[in-house]
Structure 1
Amino acid sequence: MVVKNPKVVAGIQIPDSTIATQATELLFEHGKEFLYNHSLRAFLFASLQGQQNKILYDPELLFVSAVFHDLGLTPHYSSPDKRFEVDGANAARDFLKSHGLSQPALQLVWDSVALHTTPGIAEFKEAEVALLNFGVALDVVGRGYEHVSEKHREAIIQQFPRTDFKKKVIPTFFEGFKHKTDTTYGSINADICAFMIPHFHRKDFCDSILHSPWSE
């Protein structure tokens, strides 16, 4: 895996504390270059949003959240029955707990990772939660693309290339939860299953209501 580890990109300093370094090492070990580049781009886009809008946030906690946000897709962290976002959030919490961080910090990072694919909620929570959601959404679907200058976009992509991201991201996500497609119910991940699996049958909320055990 080709690893770039610059200290500053697009004017954003990348945390290099012990916690940040060890988190990055886990991403090196269990993720691939594709997830590494995506995670670092997400952190940088999130940080630029915070900087441009003068939002106070903890760079180290945001960085760890970005590093772990997709690690739930990897075999090492994937559970047989939980959403991949929850697997990543649990892994991030356990990692930070081992470093003695406070309960509020653990919860903040857990929420950031668990809610990063939940538009309509994440952006109204704490700064780190909202910023990670912004950074991930910008990198994946281009939401807020126009709010990041071309100069900054190019600087970030030069360091952490997209490498056919549009073509690779859907099968990469699917690989992480194809063994537990039921966990995608009620989330955007169900769209990925429908794209990847011919005749995929989504669990339907209205069907669940109409076929509940209530007699009326």
Structure 2
Amino acid sequence: MSKIIAEIKIPDSKLAREAAELLRDHGDELLWNHSNRVFLFGAIQGNQAGVIYDSELLYISAIFHDLGLTKHYSSPDKRFEVDGANAARDFLKSRGVPLESISRVWDAIALHTTIGIAEHKESEVALLYSGVGYDVMGENYERISDDIRNQIVEAFPRNDFKNRIIPAFYEGFKHKTETTFGNIKADVCAEMIPGFKRTNFCDCIRHSAWKE
């Protein structure tokens, strides 16, 4: 793998390599390519905007951001984003990374699907969110040139990503669909489960234990 892609250096520290090995061990080709594209698209958008960020922390956030979808890291009852964030926190704590850096990575992963919040936080959090949005939904697609985009996709191919990612999401949390309440992954359940009934916030209010 080239260490520099589209003028972005892939972090090659011991910490970064160990994180990448975990994704190699427990993820698959879909998550590997997606996670690396997310890092690159986030980094490029950060550079374009003149944002100061820690490339290693952004890379590790990208590497871990979907690991909560894998059997190894998936809990029975937490959002997959939290599973990935907890895995990253344990990984970084075991290697003596400062708590402030761990907190940034945790927030970046836990909030990467949370619309309207992540983009207003620290640079690594905001850039991971931007990278995910770019790769999954094509948000701000025109901000990156065809040439740069093609270099990234050549290094980390999409391979029918549009059709494969929705079932991949579902496989990661089909055993705990209740964790999608209040977030965009409920759309995945509605897509994949015939007759899926979302939990309704208004019903939660009306049917609460309060006697009025």
TM-score > 0.5 by shorter chain: yes
For 1:214, the equivalent position in structure 2 comes to 210
Structure 1 letter corresponding to 2:117 = I
Structure 1 outlier segments of 4+, above 3 Å = none
Distance 2:59 2:11 in 1: 7
Ranges in structure 2 where 5+ consecutive residues have no aligned partner:
none
Q: TM-score, normalised by structure 1?
A: 0.97
Q: TM-score, normalised by structure 2?
A: 0.99
For 2:61, the equivalent position in structure 1 comes to 65
For 2:171, the equivalent position in structure 1 comes to 175
For 1:131, the equivalent position in structure 2 comes to 127
The structural deviation recorded for 1:119 is 1.3
For 2:22, the equivalent position in structure 1 comes to 26
Structure 1 letter corresponding to 2:91 = F
Number of residue-to-residue matches in the alignment: 212
Alignment equivalent of 2:83, drawn from 82, 87, 102 = 87
Distance 1:122 1:188 in 2: 14
The structural deviation recorded for 1:6 is 1.7
The structural deviation recorded for 1:99 is 0.9
Ranges in structure 1 where 5+ consecutive residues have no aligned partner:
none
- The reply to whether residue 186 of structure 1 matches residue 182 of structure 2 is yes
For 2:109, the equivalent position in structure 1 comes to 113
- The reply to whether residue 7 of structure 1 matches residue 3 of structure 2 is yes
The structural deviation recorded for 1:209 is 0.4
- The reply to whether residue 36 of structure 1 matches residue 32 of structure 2 is yes
Q: CA RMSD in A?
A: 0.5
The structural deviation recorded for 1:68 is 0.1
For 1:47, the equivalent position in structure 2 comes to 43
The structural deviation recorded for 1:144 is 1.0
For 1:141, the equivalent position in structure 2 comes to 137
Q: What's the % identity of the aligned pairs?
A: 61
Cα deviation 1:180-211 (Å, max 9, x = unaligned):
00000001000000000000010000000010
